[in-house]
Amino acid sequence: SQKIEQNSEALNIQEGKTATLTCNYTNYSPAYLQWYRQDPGRGPVFLLLIRENEKEKRKERLKVTFDTTLKQSLFHITASQPADSATYLCALISGTYKYIFGTGTRLKVLA
């Protein structure tokens, strides 16, 4: 069956460190993978999209990698800040309209 798994439900790190979140998928061959941020009680907000032919994508302090051989994406936040505390979701696009989401990793950056 098709699955998207994010490595841990919760991750605590110290301010200033790099947070690394993992997204693994099985039985998909996605052309794209996206990462979203969700704050409590709010809808998810798009952060980054990476295509299957791109190994890495950066946006300010964010970096995403995509390894189609390992079927894995890594999401990094460098120089993390307490304001980065949120739940981060990865999403695959399976077909034109099927955006399939992982369960999310709740990141807490400790001051």
- 64 contributes a contact to another protein by CB under 8 A: no
Give dist(CA 111, CA 91) in Å, integer: 29
Q: Which is nearer to another protein, 64 or 91 (CB)?
A: 91
HEC-encoded secondary structure of 42-91: CCCEEEEEEECCCCEEEECCEEEEEECCCCEEEEEECCCCHHHCEEEEEE
Q: How far is the CB of 81 from another protein (least distance, A)?
A: 23
- 62 contributes a contact to another protein by CB under 8 A: no
Which residue from 1, 43, 69, 83 is in contact with another protein, where contact means CB under 8 A?
A: 43
In the complex, the residues that contact another protein under the rule CB under 8 A are 4, 9, 31-32, 34, 41-46, 49, 51, 89, 91, 93, 96-104
